[in-house]
Amino acid sequence: MKYMLIWRVESDDAWNNVDPDFDKMIESVGRFNEEMIEAGVLLAAEGLAPAEEGVVVDFSSEPPVVTDGPYGETKELFNGFYLIEVPTIQDAVEWAKRAPMQLPGFKTEIRRVPTIDEFPQDNEWIQKERAWREAHNQL
């Protein structure tokens, strides 16, 4: 099964706990990535640019409203993710516990990524997606 490990930060103050040495941070993340690669569980991993560079499209009105970051509350943000393939959610939890950002105010949310097989196979749009995935070796 696929799981997404989503890095979250509880508050702006949590960033004060991060070692300012960027090289050390990259090394710790790199070592963790290497562990997951060697274990054969890593499918994808990405960090995200600062919220100040992003926008939000809010569909609460018509037309949708687009606002620049930063956003209202830091807890609404996530800063990066891993996509892993492991047999159980317990395995995903064990990988999350090993992640390098083990500091006060940091959290990792774990969400299962459903497979296309879990959706109605007689649906036209699911059939189109399946065909696209097959054509692009995504199954």
Q: Render pLDDT for 57-76 as a digit per residue (tens, 0 to 9).
A: 889 999 998 888 766 555 55
> Can you identify the CATH homologous superfamily of domain 2-135?
Dimeric alpha+beta barrel (3.30.70.1060)
**Domains of the chain by residue range:** 2-135
The pTM (predicted TM-score) of the whole model is: 0.79
Least trusted range by pLDDT, from 28-32, 67-71, 84-88, 135-139:
67-71
CA 18 to chain centre: 19
Summarize pLDDT for 76-104 with one digit per residue, the tens: 567 789 999 999 999 999 999 998 877 77
What percent of the chain has a predicted confidence (pLDDT) above 90?
52
- Which residues does residue 81 pair with via DSSP β-bridges, in sequence order? 6, 46
Region 130-137: mean pLDDT is: 94
Give residue 72's pLDDT: 59
The DSSP-derived string for the chain is -EEEEEEEES-GGGGGGS-S-HHHHHHHHHHHHHHHHHHT-EEEEEE---GGG-EEEETTSSSPEEEESS-S-GGG-EEEEEEEE-SSHHHHHHHHHT-S--STTEEEEEEEE--GGGS-TT-HHHHHHHHHHHHTT--
